[in-house]
Amino acid sequence: MLYKQSKVFKGDIHCDKTGLIFEAYNIKDIDSSSCRVIFFDWLMSLDPSLDQGEAIEELLAHYAPKFPGHPMTNLLITGIDKKKEIRQRRKRAKTVRRAI
């Protein structure tokens, strides 16, 4: 499946200054395992002062409408879901600790 070229330029998105995610969206026939490697590299290079969840949401806001079936879009959605799941577990753990 061919994807339309993005109107966003490399480094335009605040949380993707290196353009790793940008490049992933512009690689023809990229698979989900390659997207995971690129995502991990991006995550490791993310500025520590930025919130990971907010950064992923920013990427989704830019890319999901243009590339709805792209493997990176699916991975970013999974990343958001996991982040929410972790938050819920932490809230439950705090509630249990307070009850004890």
| Inside any domain, residue 4 | no
DSSP reduced 3-state for 46: coil
Tokens of 9: 């330029």
Regions of the chain with pLDDT less than 50? 1-3, 6
The token pair at 96 is: 């249990």
Rg (CA), the chain: 16
Q: Quick check: is 79 in a domain?
A: yes
Q: Has residue 5 been placed in a domain?
A: no
| Domains held by the chain: number | 1
Whole-prediction pTM: 0.72
Burial grade of 88 (CB within 10 A; 0-12, 13-18, 19 or more): exposed
76 in a structural domain: yes
What does the pLDDT read at residue 2? 44
Is residue 1 a part of any domain in this protein? no
Among 73, 18, 69, 25, CA closest to 44 = 18
Domain of residue 36: give its range.
Answer: 20-99
Report yes or no on 12 lying in a domain: no
In a domain, 15, yes or no: no
Per residue in 53-74, pLDDT (tens digit) is 899 999 999 999 999 999 999 9
75 in a structural domain: yes
